[in-house]
Structure 1
Amino acid sequence: MTEAAIRVEGGDLLLSVTARPGARADRIRGVKGGLLQVDVAAAAEDGKATERLLAFLAAELGVARRDVELVSGEFARFKRVRVRGLSEVPEGLLAHQIQNR
């Protein structure tokens, strides 16, 4: 059984993310294999891509950067991210889902 890419736990939103650093622009590519696929326009060095990912997700979700916390995967492509105080999935986030794959 595959874990959901986006789920609510308590009063927080938990995201299972695969980040692709070094992209031309920050963007959510969709959901595939139980993971939210995100392109990040930062190099995968010294945590730059991870920080950019968290800032991008905060902006996309309309929350402050301080409310987006990395739970695991600091130097890995697969990351778990907690968004504090967001207890439902924003409508627009699921519009990015990969279709017909």
Structure 2
Amino acid sequence: MTYVVIDNCIRCKYMDCVEVCPVDCFYEGENMLVIHPDECIDCGVCEPECPAEAIKADTEPGLEKWVELNAEYAEKWPNITIKREPPADSKEWDGVANKLETQFSPEPGEGD
């Protein structure tokens, strides 16, 4: 089991999870974060820290595409270990449906 970041992180990109991760397995894209599945130790401390509830255990049904997306982009994007401020409009995007199809950016973020 591992944890994955799902679509509600897109354009919200809260970084509370980054601050508590004991193994630094978060990677930053332009407008979301992902978890590296081979680095995650399944401790679960990140899940309750996410204000957008965008982190789920990969054992939940229907998350297969998110497992793949997290694995793919964790290899492409820079590691992030320091919490920064979320985007100014993050609250406006929290809870918006279908953001993967309309808002996801494959571009890397800043990292540390």
TM range, smaller chain: under 0.3
- The alignment's TM-score, normalised by the length of structure 1, stands at 0.26
Q: Which one has more relative contact order, counting CA pairs under 8 Å at least 6 apart?
A: 2
